[in-house]
């Protein structure tokens, strides 16, 4: 089993523990690799440490610290996400939570001799994050907005393993982890400011009504079966309160602008070719990048689908994440009628 080179009996570790199989197994690996180990649970809903996390910590004989993140989570993730939706944008609360809450709060209590161990399926090379070996579980995209100072202290022991290996070895070791999988979203957005509006087609014709733009995101197709064919959300206008739907081809973009850049390794040149990933479930696409002060201009080699303002765009060189930012605008492909 290949682990980070900093696994050493001469250093200590703080392990992010949720009680699920990934964080539980990461904790068990850390115990075998570090001199002193403790665990931290980031409590985002104020309900306290779940029984599954306590059972794992007790089973492995480590101290478990609770960090109360309920207020920060509400302000920096839930309220922020709701505000984005009301503006017709597509937020990524999971990336935001890693950036502002979970990893940051654990980093804030790190002792000088400690590294921060997490159960992310990602790898490290120096201070760069690389894709995990298990492509189906790779979580490097979710780390693209995390402060480089935090990343420099992180260790990802599951990066060279598959999910099947982790679960099998955790079961074999008798770890009492929570059996159900964590969802991508650890909360539900409860926006109570719904304002009805019109649904338009790409010609600007009214074809229906909706109960609030915050219920829609670019690329969404669920709920449009009544129109007789597959329809997708292609635009959201918060000023007029309209949602525009169209065909899949109407989702294609040739370019986008990405702001609020977080660089792990900013390119020295002003123009480079790189891979960009505009959603967690999307493949990385080849693009030409123009590097500006706090933003980049992305021109896709081939039209890219469902590029949504508000979403995160992660930039890769080979398998390494060199930065990430927030999509502020997308240039749609003009369809020939």
pTM of the model: 0.89
Nearest-CA neighbor of 78 among 211, 185, 150?
Answer: 185
Nearest-CA neighbor of 195 among 212, 214, 208?
Answer: 212
- Based on the domain organization, do 283 and 233 belong to the same domain? no
Nearest-CA neighbor of 157 among 321, 4, 319?
Answer: 4
pLDDT tens by residue, the chain, 337 residues: 444 444 455 589 999 999 999 999 999 999 999 999 999 999 999 999 999 999 999 999 999 999 999 999 999 999 999 999 989 999 999 999 999 999 999 999 999 999 999 999 999 988 899 999 998 999 999 999 999 999 999 999 999 999 999 999 999 999 999 887 655 445 455 455 668 899 998 889 998 888 888 888 898 887 666 666 788 999 999 889 899 998 889 999 999 999 999 999 999 889 999 999 999 888 999 999 999 989 999 999 999 999 999 999 999 999 999 999 999 999 998 765 5
What pLDDT is recorded for position 1?
43
- Based on the domain organization, do 238 and 260 belong to the same domain? no
- Residue 53 to residue 41: CA distance in whole angstroms: 8
- Based on the domain organization, do 168 and 21 belong to the same domain? yes
| Residue 265 tokens, joined | 């390794």
Structurally, the chain folds into a number of domains equal to: 3
Asked if 128 and 265 touch (Cβ cutoff 8 Å), the reply is: yes
- Based on the domain organization, do 164 and 218 belong to the same domain? no
Of the residues 156, 172, 188, the one at which a domain ends: 172
Number of helices (H), then strands (E), in the chain: 8, 17
> pLDDT, tens digit, for every residue of 47-92?
999 999 999 999 999 999 999 999 999 999 999 999 999 899 999 9
Q: Is residue 301 part of a domain?
A: yes
Catalytic residue among 97, 154, 256, 313: 97
- Residue 83 to residue 165: CA distance in whole angstroms: 40
For the question of residue 154 being annotated catalytic, the response is no
Q: Is residue 186 part of a domain?
A: no
Q: Is residue 191 part of a domain?
A: no
For the question of residue 186 being annotated catalytic, the response is yes
Asked if 129 and 320 touch (Cβ cutoff 8 Å), the reply is: yes
Q: Is residue 178 part of a domain?
A: no
- Based on the domain organization, do 254 and 239 belong to the same domain? no
Structural domain range at position 146: 12-172
Asked if 115 and 13 touch (Cβ cutoff 8 Å), the reply is: yes
């Amino acid at each position: 089993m290949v682990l980070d080179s900093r696994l050493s009996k001469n250093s200590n570790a703080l392990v992010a523990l949720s009680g699920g199989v990934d964080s539980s197994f990461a904790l068990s690996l850390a115990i075998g690799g570090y001199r002193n180990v403790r665990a931290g649970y980031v409590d985002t809903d104020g309900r306290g440490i779940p029984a599954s996390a306590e059972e794992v910590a007790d089973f492995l004989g480590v101290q478990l610290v609770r960090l109360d993140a309920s207020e920060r989570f509400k302000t920096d993730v839930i309220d922020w996400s709701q505000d984005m939706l009301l503006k017709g944008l597509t937020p990524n609360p999971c990336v935001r939570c890693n950036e502002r809450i979970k990893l940051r709060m654990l980093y804030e209590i790190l002792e000088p001799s400690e590294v921060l161990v997490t159960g992310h399926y990602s790898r490290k090379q120096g201070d760069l994050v690389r894709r995990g070996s298990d492509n189906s579980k790779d979580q490097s995209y979710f780390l693209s907005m995390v402060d480089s100072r935090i990343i420099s202290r992180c260790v990802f022991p599951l990066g060279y393993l598959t999910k099947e290996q982790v679960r099998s070895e955790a079961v074999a070791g008798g770890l009492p982890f929570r059996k159900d999988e964590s969802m991508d979203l650890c909360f539900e957005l409860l926006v109570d400011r719904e304002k009805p509006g019109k649904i338009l087609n790409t010609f600007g014709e009214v074809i229906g009504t909706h109960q609030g733009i915050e219920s829609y995101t670019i690329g969404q197709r669920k709920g449009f079966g009544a129109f007789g064919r597959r329809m997708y959300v292609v635009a959201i206008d918060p000023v007029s309160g309209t949602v525009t739907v169209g065909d899949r081809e109407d989702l294609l973009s040739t370019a986008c602008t990405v702001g609020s850049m977080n660089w792990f390794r900013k390119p020295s040149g002003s123009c480079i070719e790189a891979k960009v990933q505009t959603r967690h479930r999307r493949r990385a696409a080849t693009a030409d990048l123009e590097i500006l002060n706090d933003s980049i201009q992305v021109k896709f080699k081939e039209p890219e689908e469902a590029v949504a303002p508000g979403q995160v765009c992660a930039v890769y060189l080979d398998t390494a994440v060199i930065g990430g930012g927030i999509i502020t605008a997308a240039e749609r492909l003009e369809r020939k009628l």
